[in-house]
Amino acid sequence: MKQITLNIPDSKFGAFMQAIKKFSFVTIAEKKEIKISSEQKKIINDLKEALQDVELHEQGKIKLKPLDKLLDEL
């Protein structure tokens, strides 16, 4: 069995689903909702912020501390 992921505009989603459901060989997996705790949300936000800082550093827009200085602070 093969699996694909499609990105469909919201305005076309209903029509697409009606059409695709007509094929007997197609199964549609329901999207499962994942519950995230507030602590997990904070970790995710911190990681996003850190990645943004790395991108800005790579673009030369900000300067990050060297690893030696970070380790000294610990």
Domain count, the chain: 1
Q: What is the pLDDT of residue 7?
A: 93
Residues in the chain where the model's pLDDT stays below 70? none
Range of the domain at 49: 37-74
Whether residue 14 is contained in a domain is answered as no
Whether residue 6 is contained in a domain is answered as no
Whether residue 64 is contained in a domain is answered as yes
Whether residue 5 is contained in a domain is answered as no
Q: Is the separation of the CB atoms in 44 and 36 below 8 Å?
A: yes
Q: What is the pLDDT of residue 23?
A: 92
Whether residue 32 is contained in a domain is answered as no
Whether residue 17 is contained in a domain is answered as no
